[in-house]
Each structure stands twice: as C-alpha cells, then as structure tokens.
Amino acid sequence: MTSFDVVILGAGYGGLTCAVRLAGRTKKLRLRIALVGKSASFQERLRLHEGLADPGFGLPVRLPALAEFLAGSGCTFIQGEVREIDRAERCVRLHAPDGEHVLSYGQLVIALGSRTVPEPPGADQHAYVLDAEGPRAQPELKRRLASLDVSAPRIVVVGGSATGIEVAAELVRLRGAGVTILERGTFAGFATPAVKRRLVEAVNRAGIVVREHVRVEAVEPDRVVTSAGDMPCDVCVWCAGFSGQPVAPAAGFETDAAGRIRVDPWLRALGDPFVFAAGDASIPIERCGAPPRMSAFFALATGAHVADTIARMHAGKRPRPFGFWTWGQAIGVGEEAVGFATMPHDRQIGPIYGGRMAFLLRAFFIRLLVRLIGLHRRFPALPFWLGRGAYRDEAIGRYAPPVLTPLHRRDEARS
C-alpha cells in the first residue's frame, strides 16, 4: 500500500486541472499528491466525434504524456484503472499495467467523468458509443465506418441533443451516408426556440433527417426497433445522455439518477468528509450560480475549486463554497457551428452566431480549455472563473464547512 495526502481519480478536464492546481498551490507544504488515470495521455473527450468519417484523421496531441506533463509538478501520475474505492479503509484499489496497486488517501477527489449507457435490449451489443474506451467505443466505431462495404450506409444516431447533433454532422460526411437522428423528446431540447431554429436549419443544410418523439425500443444488427416502427440501419450510434462511472455508487456514495455523486456547497461527497467530487462525476445539491450540467467548463471550474478548497484546508484557511457562471455554448454542425452567449445562468442571451465564423470560435474555445490546464500547471493561482460568489448564501448555513483534522494528513493516513 502506498500512502498519499491527496489521491485524485480521473485524469480528464476536472481531475487534471485539480492535480496541477493543487500541486502548484501547495508546493511549500510538500503534500504527497497522486493523479490516477486509465490512459497514459490526456484525452480531449469532447473532440471524440471529430474525423469519424475520415479513417486517416487522428486528433492532434496538445499535451505531452501525463507522466511527462506532471514531472516536477509535485504530483505523481499513476496509470491504472480504479476498480474499487474502500471508504472504510480510506484506500483505492487499482488495476495497473504492472499489476494491482492499493493507494491509501488522506483526501480523495473523484473526477472519473461519465460514460454512455444505452438501455434498450441489444443496444449494448449493436450500438456504438462515443466513449474513449470500451468494446463499442469510438475506436471501434471508426473501424466499423472504415470497413462499411455498402455504397449508401444508413446511420441512426440516437439522441437529438448537442452530442447527437455533433456526431450526426460528422457521420453525414461519410460518402453516400444517410443519417437520421432519433429523439424521444424534442430535438435540441436544451435550446431556446431561436437556437433550435438555427440548429434545425444547420442540420437540414447538412442533409440530416431528424425524427422527434420516437423512442428506440431495441437495437438489432441491421435495424433499430422504435415506437414508430422498424428502421433498417447499418450503424447505430448512441448519444442519448451520459451516466457516472459505476465505482462511485458501488462505494456507497449518494448519487442522482445519472450516477453523479451528490456534493455539498464545498463539493464534498455527502456524508464523507474525506471525499470531494468534480466534473461529470459530481452534482451540487445547492444552487451554485449556473445550473450544473455535464460539460468541460463545469469540469474545469469544479476541479480548480476542489484544488483551492484542499489547499486552503492545509494552509489553515477557511474554504469558500463553490459558485460559477457559464460564458457561452457552441454546437458544431460539420464545418459550421451555432454559438451564443449564456452568461450567467446557462441560457442563451444576445445574438446567435452561425456559419464558419462560429465554427472557428468554437475551435478556439476548445483549444483554450486545454491551454487553461497548461496555465494551471505554470501559474496555479492565475486562472479564474466567473461567478465564484454565486452560491446561495442561506443554503450554506445548513452544512459544516470543511476543516482539516489529523486524519486528513499524510502521517496519520500512513499508519
């Protein structure tokens, strides 16, 4: 068993931000910090749909390998898959390339992100998902698309929200492809009527068919069975919602219907003073400004906030509750995008931008997200986010603020 003051699980947007910011902010305290990730490199998950239709396309690498990126930062990278969180023993069990490992922690940060879990019968065998890993994940989908031997492949994308739209717009570039989005509710249900109109125009221009109020009941090798009848299909891609990783509910954390860990105003897991959660893995139960939604920006802000909270606890300072506002949103539709400001409460305000300009702006912000992680690494106190005081004051009084106890420290954690 190896002991650490802080163990951070998941090296995505939230976990990596937390790791570099915390290491940078606590350098003088010489905390032992470990970041655990399944993959040796950072995966830009929100770009997984890019180049799906182009077998020669590979995502450009924007960060060095994680061990290299973290070298000298004060945080150790451990590659491995988290198999179990043992809250009674305060340790985590990993399956690593060189065998099984047990890490004991003083404080734990869970930033394991989310995954796609298709529910209907047959979907787990015949539908692909836009996860980075797994038997029917993005690499398998790319292989399947590259090996299609029909001249006009019929592709069904399940889910008419932002991810489904972006995925469908990539797939329709496949030569001769006919792409249909099936949505059990209304298409672009997250959008204001004006945004929805622009998205409908963009998908129409791309030649994508949208069918609303159609529920997929089963997925078979060559068709999907829906509430509106059977639809023949060569490839089915499931983009209808994300769920938290299974290790959190298995460890007995209180989760919502999507499997996200319910957290208090300091982003602590309810009922466990040693555990924080960030990013897609977390759901604040009190109002904290903008409504929390699984997104890269929310992951960065919560990851950074958890780092600040732990750093303040170790420095003997009072941590602050979490608050945030969003800036904007842009949905890519092939080589164009629909973008708009959402400040402060994640609802569209002001003009809606479309076309190539919006696409380039979206690409700029996606790049900025990775740049921000690099900035946290170099100047940990510098990157900030808006809406830090946006939590609801009266709700905070119901919770005891986090305080450092001897159990949160490394020496005691080792014993």
**Binding-site ranges for ligand FAD (CB under 6 A):** 10-15, 36-39, 43, 45-46, 48-49, 81-82, 111-113, 130, 132, 163, 166, 245, 247, 279-281, 294-297, 299
For the CB of residue 71, give the shortest distance to ligand FAD in the complex, in Å. 19
- Helices 355-378, 296-314: axis angle to 10 degrees equals 20
Closer CB to ligand FAD, 12 or 74, in the complex = 12
**At residue 229, what are phi and psi to the nearest 5 degrees?**
110, 175
For the CB of residue 311, give the shortest distance to ligand FAD in the complex, in Å. 19
Concatenating the DSSP letter of every residue in 11-76 gives -SHHHHHHHHHHHHHTGGGT--EEEEESSSS---GGGTTTTTT-TT--PPP-S--HHHHHTTTTEE
- Helices 162-171, 193-206: axis angle to 10 degrees equals 20
Q: Computed over its alpha carbons, how large is the radius of gyration of the chain?
A: 22
Closer CB to ligand FAD, 145 or 404, in the complex = 145
Closer CB to ligand FAD, 136 or 223, in the complex = 136
For the CB of residue 132, give the shortest distance to ligand FAD in the complex, in Å. 6
121 contacts 132 by C-beta, under 8 angstroms: no
**At residue 351, what are phi and psi to the nearest 5 degrees?**
-70, 160
**Two tokens at 122?**
């047959």
Closer CB to ligand FAD, 284 or 404, in the complex = 284
Closer CB to ligand FAD, 19 or 281, in the complex = 281
For the CB of residue 162, give the shortest distance to ligand FAD in the complex, in Å. 6
**Any bridge partners for residue 127, and if so which?**
236
Residue from 310, 387, 376 nearest 6 by CA: 310
Closer CB to ligand FAD, 24 or 279, in the complex = 279
- Rounded to a whole number, what is the largest CA-CA distance in the chain? 66
For CA atoms 185, 134, 147, 60, give the dihedral sign: positive
For the CB of residue 369, give the shortest distance to ligand FAD in the complex, in Å. 8
Closer CB to ligand FAD, 63 or 200, in the complex = 63
For the CB of residue 111, give the shortest distance to ligand FAD in the complex, in Å. 5
For the CB of residue 46, give the shortest distance to ligand FAD in the complex, in Å. 3
331 contacts 337 by C-beta, under 8 angstroms: yes
**At residue 100, what are phi and psi to the nearest 5 degrees?**
-90, 145
Residue from 19, 215, 40 nearest 109 by CA: 19
For the CB of residue 10, give the shortest distance to ligand FAD in the complex, in Å. 3
Distances (CA, A) of 304 to 1, 77, 390: 28, 18, 16
Residue from 324, 351, 355, 321 nearest 338 by CA: 355
For the CB of residue 398, give the shortest distance to ligand FAD in the complex, in Å. 26
- Please enumerate in sequence order all residues whose Cβ is within 8 A of that of 377, keeping only pairs 6 or more positions apart, or say none: 20, 24, 69, 73
Closer CB to ligand FAD, 79 or 223, in the complex = 79
User: Integer distance in angstroms from the first to the last C-alpha of the chain?
Assistant: 11
Closer CB to ligand FAD, 9 or 210, in the complex = 9
Closer CB to ligand FAD, 14 or 74, in the complex = 14
Concatenating the DSSP letter of every residue in 164-196 gives HHHHHHHHTTSTT-EEEEE-SS-TTTTS-HHHH
Would you call the peptide bond into 344 cis, given omega within 30 degrees of 0 as the criterion? yes
For the CB of residue 131, give the shortest distance to ligand FAD in the complex, in Å. 7
* Residue closest to ligand FAD, measured at CB: 12
